[in-house]
Structure 1
Amino acid sequence: MALGLGLASLAVPTAFAGNTDGSVVGHTQANAVVTVTSPSTGLTRTITADGNGNYRFPFLPVGDYLLTVNSNGNAVGQSRHVTVTLGNATTVDVGSNANATELSSINVTSNALPVIDVTSTESATNISRETLTRLPVEQSVASVALLAPGVVKGNAGFGGISFGGSSIAENAFYVNGLNVTDFYNRNGFSEAPFDFYQEFQVKTGGYSVEFGRTTGGVVNAVARSGTNEFKFGTTITMEPGNWHSAAKDRYNADGSRYITASRDQDSLVKTNVWAAGPIIKDKLFFFAMYEARGSEPHNTDNLGKTITYNNADNNFWGTTINWNVTDSNTLSLMAFSDKTKNVGDVYGYDYDTHTVGPRSNIINSDTGGRNWALTWSSYLTNDLSMKLMYGQNQRDANTQSQLDVQCNVVAGTTGFLNIHDPGVALGCTNSSTVYARTDKRTQYRADFEWTLGSNLLRFGYDHEKNVSDYARHYTGPGEYYYNLYATSPGSTIPNGGVVPPGYDAYVRARRYEIAGTFPTINSAFYVEDNWSITPNFVLNAGIRNDSFNNEDASGRSYIKISKQIAPRLGFSWDVKGDASMKVFGNLGRYYLPVANVINIKQAGGLLDERTYYGFAGWDIQTLNGLTYAVPKLGAQIGPVDDSQGNGTVGDLRSEVDKNMDPVYQDEAILGFQQLINNNWSWGVRGIYRRLHNAIDDMEISATPKCGGDGYIGWVMANPGKKVTVWGDTNCDGTPDGYLTIDTSKYGWAMYDSDGNYLGQRGWVKPKRTYEAIELQLDKAWDDKWSFNASYTAAWNRGNAEGPVNSDTDFDDTGRTENFDDPYVNLSNGFLPNDRRHQLKLRGTYALSKNWQVGANVEVNSGGPITGYGVGNPYDATNYHSYFICVDKCGSIPGQFDTNGDPVQYPSEDRVYKSSPRGNYGRLPWTYTLDANITYVLPYDGGKMRVKLTAFNLLNQQRTVQVDQDLQTDISPQTNSTFRQPIGFQAPRYVQLSFSADF
């Protein structure tokens, strides 16, 4: 049925929608009574158009409606069927002769969503549940987001997705208005099965001020709900292991295998059952779902010496309850659980004979949790509406193995092992950490919309309390990590103790524990005016004021930043006045909060206790068939050293910049969209993004006044800017007040190998820009076929990727290596998420009434490759740097220290050369083709669907990640595995799904 699209000759209030619903706006006769009714739920809302005939229905649940207009008891025009989509506005003019001519050539059927929303200044892609059933899309929210232009997969071992050049730790994810983003390190989110969602909206830029706390993108989803018609159904999804193509083993140049993957196998069976319907007709509705999952993957380690059989208990439940309290008030509840318990049994394995040995370990892990949101929507008056939401999001992250309980980590220096080699393994585990964490977000928000003539005012408040309960310690009895060193009687060891007679070695027994409750409070106010300046031109002006307060384990503010003013200005020009052509643009600022991992790692109640003992020989033990050695402890030497952490929270004034600035990004977008005919449209968009500031750890080892004697330590601050921190102001060795250091010039001390102070230098400021051109062509589904194509050309440059380093697999958000010292971040170039070319194609074609085929193609150029070195002319620390040592880099021949370790050349004698970012070419292009064939059988009251999908049909296993360590230590040799492939496209797998609705 025809939808009249376009703005009338009189200004229509702009059409914005909340983050869980949509809206209907338009023009009709002055003071006419306009009514929308949901045939499926009976929800009816009625308003009176203003004196110019403008009307607006905000906060409408996603779905289909019937719109009618009456004036003085007489019908105006014909009733209209209207589809409301997530986050969008549907414009419907009724009984308006002003643009009848213009609309005569546009006839959008009810099966096709409105192609152009001329009132919106956002850049967003809507994907409905019905669309996804026709396409070969992996059943994950990330896969839905990747359908949007400018979104690419992260190329690190920790995965994730990147929006517009941002790192994978800068995005936000919502379900029914509830923020389900991981706030510990922002690398993930809580997720429900596909069949739980009704619609997705992927926002890639220009989003309104109601959204914040992201400098990447937003994925906004709404769950399904019940109607007056009772329905139920099931979906069975099968991915048999023998339908998976084997991954390739990878070999070194000498023929040795360094990645064993061909024996890995995954299999999955999911049975999903759901029911929906009325509890009270036209009033109260429910939707409920349960999904049972059978998943038992097994995989080998890289050397092919162990194999792990996993068994997961990850069954899902979810529900929504919707209550039409009155025609002006609704109450809805959404809840789901994605809690997972996995047990991994680890066995010895012989790759050549396929022989499985005895079990060597059991690994238990718990993830996920329960989530819920309660939302009240109300039409307070004809012009004022309100929406209130309260909810909680919980995520567990607990891992512990059998060896964690029974095995300590043991490590010995070369000099020690030369005289005390036990002939067996040291300890029985390489895992040093046991951790348990529960993250719980409590969120509430209030959103209001107020229509004042041609102005729509939107304002609200958004508040989150994010609490991490965290505990971490070393493995084994007593939770000790043992380090062993050669020595001689009478020698002084690091804690000042003197080695007694009879000992030629000593043991350092270290306990390292962090535990506590760490809250962060994020809150924001926003206000926005959407002004229809002319009938065809909309101006959107908003401002958001964010504040972040990260607290330490004792409840004190650790990092507190307020008054983060984010202005956003956008426009939309309906060029012809009939919604067939649109020019739009926006300027905006977006702020990024500090992840909770910073509170914990930098401001926790750290216990770092080091006790020294004489080495009294070996205790040889056996566990799971492995014989290993643990040191016997002799007499304690010297006092216990807890100077690095005594279990209490220290003086944070010396650890945090007092006047820290937030991380924010500015964005500019200019775009064009045109409706070619009733189903086809095309568009182009230009994007520019620039990131400002970083919050990261820096080692401030000198001050302008006191030089190298002004050591402060590791400080969370803005590198390259002025830092105000507690320290020594008069150079007497005692911190006594605040001092300000311009870290663009000062802050890092340089020494020669004899410890002589040589001066200091500062840090360069972080830089990151993203420039892109996007082209998109869209053919809406018309019961015969649909098609979407997008091409993105992008340039992502700078000297800092963001709060994580994907090129070095460093995912501790906000604690990167980028600013550990000024020599680390000197290189400017193309960043890890730079993909110069990106092509995406997707579509469905109906072969007949019952048969459909679909395809999804993604083509990406490869990211840049950097050759990282170690250290620099003034620092031998083992971290990644943009320098490589080329002469006098290793040990001095024939010279050894008291531990028997080689003596290195003095740092000032070494010769380094620059190794710029992206200097070693690029990763290969990747091509992925997913395809499906579907049999659809409609029947009275329902539909059966059988769908066979092949993901990565061509079984491309191209390299997506390589070893970028050109040097792994300070030596003249380069790393033999530099540029060695270590990450690959997932092999082909086939999925069969059967669904039936009744």
Structure 2
Amino acid sequence: MKALRRSALCLALGMCLASLAPMAVASDGSVVGRTAPGAEVTVRNPATGFSRIVQADASGSYRFPFLPVGSYVLEVRKDGATLGEPVEINVSLGNATHVSAAATGGVSTLDSVEVVGSRVVNAVDVSSTESATNVTREELARLPVERDPLAVALLAPGLTKGEFGGVSFGGSSVAENTVYINGLNVTDFYNRVGFSSVPYAFYKEFQVKTGGYSVEFGRTTGGVINAVTRSGSNAFEFGAEAAWEPAFLQTSASDHYGAQGNPEIIASHDEYDRSSVNFYASGPIIRDRLFFFAMYELRDYQPQNTTDLGDSMSLGNSDDAFWGGKLDWQISDSHQLELLAFSDQNATVTKVHGFDLGSGRRTGYQNTRFLDNGGRNWSLTYTGYLTDALSMKALYGENERQFSQKSLNDIDCNRVRDLRDGISKRDVGCTNISSVIERGDEREAARLDFEWALGGHLLRFGMDREVNTSHHQQYYPGNRLLYEIRDTQPGTTLDNGGTVPDDVFAYVRTRTNEVDGQFESVNTAYYIEDNWAVTPGLVLNAGLRLEAFDNKDSDGRSYIKMDDMLAPRLGFSWDLKGNASTKLFGNLGRYFLPVANVINIKQAGGFFDERTFYVFEGFEDFEYNGQIYQRPILGAQIGPVDNSQGDGTVGDLRAEVDSDMDPVYQDELILGYQSMIDEKWSWGVRGIYRKLHNAIDDMFITSNGILCGGEPSEIGWVMANPGENVTVYTDTNCDGESDGYVTIDTSTAGWALYDHDGNYLGERGWSKPRRDYKALELTLDRAWDDTWSFNASYTLAFNKGNAEGPINSDTDFSDTGRTENFDDPWVNFGGYGYLPNDRRHQFKFRGGYAFSEHWQVGATLTAQSGRPVNAFGAGNPFDGTNYHSYYICVSNCTATNPSERVYQHYGRGAGGNLGWTYDVGANISYLRSFGDTRLRVKLAVYNLLNQERVTEVDDELEADIGFRNPEYLQGTDYQSPRYAQFTVSVDF
């Protein structure tokens, strides 16, 4: 224990009166506070020699914006005399460090107090109205956290694992988040699910923004992962880190069989061996001016996986290295330049063999698959401290993501899938590759940010612009046809309008799906915000962000263009006790979501999607690579060829896109309270309400509302706002040619109804998309004091509506913005209820303890209630459509006249909820220093209790109209089994 004067404690903890603080998209934080009016305040980074002096204004306020993350020393002088002692402070990512010094006549010199440890971080930022969780590299070293930014993000309250490898923020889908590295947006703009990344050891700090973020952040209705990388200093440093996840420390997963005894998920033979070794070096090129940090990482990943049905085994190999580096040039104390560059290119070669499930042995060679992804990325950032009151940042960068998927069998082999019930082998052809894909995505990003202090006001303004270009080619392997065999019943109406003949119980659907072109989207935003210190303890901020999205087709024409989208953000923070230890805060804001480039590609890219239906006449066998495979024998064609979803041409966009489309946006309201219990402990509570407005999705509009010969004309597939007015170009005078615009209220019209004999009966409309998220969060935190730390959170949440977002995880549909939710009115009719990302209760705990100088332990626990389960049907009581619905046929289901069938409504979540899941992680670390050499050895175990609880089930109650799915409620996804990771790091 050691005694400090209260004024010094204010410096260390930031627990005194503070001035306004900025929040920046880039890799920085700030220092703000009060001292004697006119005093000179100096902040200095001992590691880099950076130093800056500002003069406190007439009220004693001062601020240092845009400071690189790191450790600093702060000094205050007036009239040639030093006020107090120099104090060490930390500047964290996206936060303000509050430092107020005692001064004669300014802030009273207070009594001495005692504090444990050399430095404790204050968790209450009284100048901020946002909700965020910061996690440093040092804290991650003490915890069993997987080496992935998403695993770091999941430490924050209210976040859950989603489908397709993403995370859900506050009830949103996984396709609504944004990720930044050193201020560069690296989010995958093709489908908004993935992102570019760097090795774990390359990061310095993460900030997970879960709500209430300021106007310089946009293009998200989920959350933000903001990360900063390591940098060099005046000290030459180098080191290495090795990480190994050996197969022999992995617990085998269980195999799961369906209700009829057929294999559903064969996973007991799955395993992998993953290892990496990185080497880094950093130091000065010119002392106090120019610094470098460089890393090279060797990586090796060798997965072994069987298919879910256990009929083949894949042996993968990926060994591409990562390289990355950062240059920091302190041109002067007022001008800085930083360059970031890295490559996350990665190639995986996978050998595919047959597999005998009974013996557990692989058999003959079948195919070799190639998967390439990643790309080269760079950004250049300038920071200028133009005056004590005016500062700026400018960034330009490029983010590249390549994706390539192909195999050696692509020329000779079609994919053939047998999807009939009770069939144990789904892929019966000589390839199981879904599509041959070659895609290149490149983002050009530029932004300007300014901060201007004007007395009690801090004006922040700027702009950013992104040009996102996709080069995309895609087609099915073989002769570019996909064959699918499915069960059916005589009299069933197929998707192309054809009727299944008598005595036919299975059909073959052939499909051609091709696209080739270049597509561009341009997203632009301008913002301005005023942070106003109304009183010494009350801060109000009012901001406005002006967004514009412009998605273009393969010919460069604007396809979806939305301008003048105003996103207001209002917030307040009230320092209740006047010493920065307790605050009441709130935020009300609007956030817009851009349209993913996959929409340009598949809706306005000359997309060719042709489907033909045939009677299934059995299989014929053929030999390939010494193995016997099957292909279907095609009988009579059923109905017409269906190319309604794309005929290979870029059509008349006036007829395919709503000319007055509204954007997707979310309104958010947050009210919270945070308080320090003492210099280490803090707690908080936060109430959140989020409401999603609109959807942009494809709709099949069968009526233009104009009767020609007693019935309306069909428009076809239109990208629009379901449930809203849709304006499209169509035939208005019944001559068969489009000649004018019509506006259809799709909440009541747009879908033509016919009886069994084809007589027009009228129209129905679509349900309006809804998503509401209500949550209460409680947090408790104890800061690390060189001995132990602890963090706990509980979230009570209600996520309700009829639209998860631009993707559907309950139906495994990841084609962003082209979900089946609004294909016809019945898919979502009666579908209001608890959404797939609803987790009513969620507990999270993490902590670390050093029980000696050399030994540390850490642990994490996440416990959460299960997701809702649906009971999807195949038909509906309104027409003969045979598609996904919330209605189950309960009587007279084989009637050829749909009006004679009897249905019962099974709303969203009718199947109840899955059980709770528990995930415990634990680690032990050994630390040792040998002079200037530091050694850390760590063993981390994930899913320590080896929980393998179900996380997803088959929730299709009907396989076809009137036919129950025997695999209903069969698990389709489970927790990953226990595995362990060794890491050894040496720093010199």
TM-score by length of 2: 0.92
Aligned equivalent of 1:558? 559
Aligned equivalent of 2:29? 22
Partner of 2:411: helix, strand, or coil?
helix
Q: Distance in 2 between matches of 1:682 and 1:651?
A: 58
Q: Which stretch of the first structure deviates more once superposed, 392-401 or 624-633? A: 624-633
Q: Which stretch of the first structure deviates more once superposed, 691-700 or 599-608? A: 599-608
Report deviation, 1:753.
Answer: 2.6
Q: State how 1:199-278 maps to structure 2 within 5 Å.
A: 199-278=205-284
Aligned equivalent of 1:914? 905
Q: Distance in 2 between matches of 1:543 and 1:841?
A: 37
Partner of 2:601: helix, strand, or coil?
helix
Aligned equivalent of 2:305? 299
Change (3 A) 1:104 1:911: farther
Which residue, 159, 176, 180 being the options, matches 2:182? 176
Aligned amino acid, residue 455 of structure 2: G
Q: Deviations over 1:695-723 (max 9, x none)?
A: 11111111333274221111111111111
The reply on whether 1:983 has 2:973 as its aligned counterpart is yes
Aligned amino acid, residue 526 of structure 2: F
Change (3 A) 1:103 1:15: farther
Which residue, 744, 749, 767 being the options, matches 2:747? 744
Aligned amino acid, residue 524 of structure 1: A
Change (3 A) 1:726 1:657: same
Aligned amino acid, residue 787 of structure 1: F
Change (3 A) 1:729 1:850: same
Q: State how 1:697-776 maps to structure 2 within 5 Å.
A: 697-706=698-707, 708-776=711-779
Aligned amino acid, residue 844 of structure 1: G
Change (3 A) 1:484 1:185: closer
Q: Distance in 2 between matches of 1:612 and 1:320?
A: 57
Which residue, 458, 465, 468 being the options, matches 2:467? 465
Change (3 A) 1:367 1:102: farther
Aligned amino acid, residue 539 of structure 1: L
The reply on whether 1:446 has 2:448 as its aligned counterpart is yes
Q: Distance in 1 between matches of 2:552 and 2:741?
A: 21
Q: State how 1:311-350 maps to structure 2 within 5 Å.
A: 311-350=317-356
Aligned amino acid, residue 865 of structure 1: V
Partner of 2:238: helix, strand, or coil?
strand
Aligned amino acid, residue 790 of structure 1: S
Q: Distance in 1 between matches of 2:428 and 2:770?
A: 45
The reply on whether 1:476 has 2:478 as its aligned counterpart is yes
Aligned amino acid, residue 908 of structure 2: R
Which residue, 71, 87, 94 being the options, matches 2:78? 71
Aligned amino acid, residue 19 of structure 1: A
Aligned amino acid, residue 128 of structure 1: T
The reply on whether 1:995 has 2:973 as its aligned counterpart is no
Change (3 A) 1:691 1:508: closer
Partner of 1:120: helix, strand, or coil?
coil
The reply on whether 1:964 has 2:972 as its aligned counterpart is no
Aligned amino acid, residue 452 of structure 1: L
Partner of 1:848: helix, strand, or coil?
coil
Q: Distance in 2 between matches of 1:641 and 1:239?
A: 49
Q: Distance in 2 between matches of 1:481 and 1:683?
A: 55
Change (3 A) 1:708 1:873: farther
The reply on whether 1:828 has 2:832 as its aligned counterpart is yes
Q: Distance in 1 between matches of 2:126 and 2:465?
A: 31
Q: Which stretch of the first structure deviates more once superposed, 440-449 or 32-41? A: 32-41
Q: Deviations over 1:99-130 (max 9, x none)?
A: 44668558585533222111110100000000
Q: Distance in 1 between matches of 2:685 and 2:642?
A: 63
The reply on whether 1:925 has 2:925 as its aligned counterpart is no
Change (3 A) 1:614 1:716: closer
Change (3 A) 1:446 1:649: same
Q: Is the 8 A contact 2:786 2:850 kept in 1?
A: yes
Q: Is the 8 A contact 2:15 2:122 kept in 1?
A: no
User: Identity across aligned pairs (percent)?
Assistant: 56
Q: Distance in 1 between matches of 2:236 and 2:418?
A: 69
Report deviation, 1:50.
Answer: 1.4
Report deviation, 1:758.
Answer: 1.4
Q: Which stretch of the first structure deviates more once superposed, 512-521 or 220-229? A: 512-521
Aligned amino acid, residue 60 of structure 1: L
Q: Is the 8 A contact 2:315 2:352 kept in 1?
A: yes
Q: Is the 8 A contact 1:103 1:578 kept in 2?
A: no
Which residue, 37, 40, 44 being the options, matches 2:44? 37
Q: State how 1:191-590 maps to structure 2 within 5 Å.
A: 191-409=197-415, 427-431=429-433, 433-477=435-479, 479-480=480-481, 511-590=512-591
Aligned amino acid, residue 967 of structure 1: E
Report deviation, 1:828.
Answer: 1.2
Report deviation, 1:304.
Answer: 1.7
Report deviation, 1:297.
Answer: 1.1
Change (3 A) 1:938 1:446: same
Q: Distance in 2 between matches of 1:46 and 1:806?
A: 53
Report deviation, 1:26.
Answer: 1.1
Aligned equivalent of 1:810? 813
Change (3 A) 1:736 1:991: same
Q: State how 1:150-189 maps to structure 2 within 5 Å.
A: 150-154=158-162, 156=163, 158-189=164-195
Q: Is the 8 A contact 1:140 1:194 kept in 2?
A: yes
Aligned amino acid, residue 235 of structure 2: E
Partner of 1:191: helix, strand, or coil?
coil
Change (3 A) 1:49 1:610: closer
Aligned equivalent of 2:893? 889
4+ runs of 1 displaced by more than 6 Å?
6-11, 410-414, 482-485, 506-510, 609-620, 629-634, 639-644
Change (3 A) 1:309 1:103: farther
Change (3 A) 1:922 1:617: closer
Change (3 A) 1:94 1:346: same
The reply on whether 1:48 has 2:55 as its aligned counterpart is yes
Aligned equivalent of 1:935? 926
Report deviation, 1:94.
Answer: 2.2
The reply on whether 1:128 has 2:129 as its aligned counterpart is no
CA RMSD of aligned residues (A): 3.0
Change (3 A) 1:868 1:317: same
Q: Is the 8 A contact 1:8 1:26 kept in 2?
A: no
Report deviation, 1:165.
Answer: 0.7
Report deviation, 1:531.
Answer: 0.5
Q: Distance in 2 between matches of 1:640 and 1:888?
A: 30
TM-score by length of 1: 0.91
Aligned amino acid, residue 888 of structure 1: N
Consecutive unaligned residues of structure 1, counting only runs of 5 or more, are 415-423, 486-493, 496-505, 891-903
Partner of 1:650: helix, strand, or coil?
coil
Q: Is the 8 A contact 2:101 2:107 kept in 1?
A: no
Aligned equivalent of 1:871? 875
Aligned equivalent of 1:900? none
Consecutive unaligned residues of structure 2, counting only runs of 5 or more, are 421-425, 487-494, 497-506
Aligned equivalent of 1:418? none
Partner of 2:523: helix, strand, or coil?
strand
Aligned equivalent of 2:504? none
Q: Distance in 2 between matches of 1:552 and 1:216?
A: 27
Q: Distance in 2 between matches of 1:573 and 1:86?
A: 22
Aligned equivalent of 1:499? none
Q: Distance in 1 between matches of 2:393 and 2:418?
A: 62
Q: How many residues align?
A: 955
Aligned amino acid, residue 751 of structure 1: Y
Aligned equivalent of 1:90? 97
Q: Deviations over 1:413-438 (max 9, x none)?
A: 99xxxxxxxxx998534545211111
The reply on whether 1:951 has 2:942 as its aligned counterpart is yes
Change (3 A) 1:467 1:540: same
Which residue, 851, 862, 875 being the options, matches 1:858? 862
